[in-house]
Amino acid sequence: MDRSGKLPDKINNSGRRIQHPELEDEVYKRYEDRQKASKPTRDFDLQRMAIAVAAERGVTGFRASKGWVGDFRQRRGLVLRVTTKIGRKFAQTEDQIQEEFFLHRIFEAVFINNSHPYLIRNMDQTSVRLQNTYKKTLSPKGAKEVRVVQPPGDPEYLTVCLTISANGWKFPASVVFKGNKKTGKLSPRILNKFEIRENNSAFDRFWIKETFDERYDGGTLIRDRAPAHGSFESQLLLENLGIEQMFIPAGLTGTYQPLDVGVNFPFKSYLRKSYHLRRDNCTAVTKSGYLKKPSRQDFMKFVSEAWEKVKVSTVENSFVSARIMPEPLYMLASQEETLDSPDDLERSFECGFSSVEDSFAEE
């Protein structure tokens, strides 16, 4: 018997030929219909269906005995089991409805509207640790102290805003620092001061204006359900640009958000590698003997280098893995975007990311 429940040949397990194979096929088909309708089926139901089929087909001398039922179940791989106690969960939950609605909108944007892959975008904010102190190190057995020079204070965090397109394009990353410290080394644009909002709605408006303009008119923006993303001001800005915003259902960003699925992990891995290299090569210490913290300029360099290393193919595959796009062959990007002069750090900063310090002002 194959997986469909049909017999490839008309011979039973004992080697004897089945008397009425067409009858059994029809009985099994009716059993499948009952199963799809979530109706219980017992031996009595099989007997009743078999007698009805025999009468319809004019089969004489057929008896749907218990022996026939047992042989039929054995040939078709059917066993009696206790029903699963799922109660009324057959009905779709609200989460399932939202998930289906989201997938329907994605299908409409990608296939029905036939949008260019560049116009299918995903944006996400991810938290990055400013200092990655070493909690463990190799030490000889029996050593009473294991001393390592560390940066002072508790670890700090910065927020990196990443945006990608389905054709592999990486938009400039935005680095958000919290605090009032100014380095004096950053551009005037970076040193602009704005007013902080608890829900980050001010930054979201700033990001939309900085990222999109008339050149990027139209398309789809896929984001999580952060409160700032659903604010009236952000929605209005996107509508004016002709950009349709699609919210990933709650709890499913790990499944349908391309950045979470395939980009954030390699990006943070590259970022940690840059920090570790700087940590190994740094010899400057403070008056108290602590290792000097990396400056914000250093962290911006780390972000720029890490974002530059994320491959176009990685971005493309993240949209495929998140079930947003079909196979990568459909996508148009084929070559990595590289700088003519990688040593030109100023240009690298411009192409790699933007940074906004502190907070964002009400307009």
Rounded to two decimals, what is the model's pTM? 0.59
- Confidence label for 307 from pLDDT (cuts 50, 70 and 90): very high
- Tens of pLDDT, residues 174-233: 887 665 444 444 444 443 433 333 346 788 888 888 888 766 567 899 999 888 888 888
The CATH code of the domain that includes 154 is 3.30.420.10
User: Is the domain of 87 the same as that of 217?
Assistant: no
Q: Would residue 251 count as lying in a domain?
A: yes
- Are residue 125 and residue 81 in the same domain, yes or no? no
44-48, 145-149, 293-297: least confident range: 145-149
Confidence of residue 162 (pLDDT cuts 50, 70, 90): very high
The CATH number given to whatever domain includes residue 82 is: 1.10.10.60
Predicted local distance difference test score (pLDDT) of residue 131: 62
**Whether residue 190 is found in the same domain as residue 225:** yes
Average pLDDT over residues 296-308: 86
Are 273 and 329 in a shared domain? yes
Asked if pLDDT for residue 159 goes beyond 90, the answer is no
| pLDDT at 315 (0 to 100) | 93
Please report whether residue 185 resides in a domain.
yes
Summarised one tens digit per residue, pLDDT across range 178-190 is 654 444 444 444 4
Q: Comparing 128 with 32, which gets the higher pLDDT? A: 32
Average pLDDT over residues 111-133: 82
Q: Same domain, yes or no, for 80 and 107? A: no
Range 142-160 average pLDDT: 70
Q: Both 42 and 163 in a single domain?
A: no
Structure tokens at 114: 């036939």
Any idea which of 7-16, 36-45, 259-268, 325-334 has the lowest mean pLDDT? 7-16
State which of 91, 111, 129 marks the end of a domain: 91
Shared-domain flag, residues 114 and 205: yes
- Dump pLDDT digits (tens) for 338-356: 334 334 433 433 333 444 4
Count of structural domains, the chain? 2
Q: Does the residue 145 lie in any domain?
A: no
Host domain of residue 159: 98-137+150-357
Within this chain, do residues 322 and 208 fall inside the same structural domain, yes or no? yes
Q: Are residues 42 and 103 in the same domain?
A: no
Higher pLDDT, 83 or 152: 83
**Do 173 and 252 fall within a single domain?**
yes
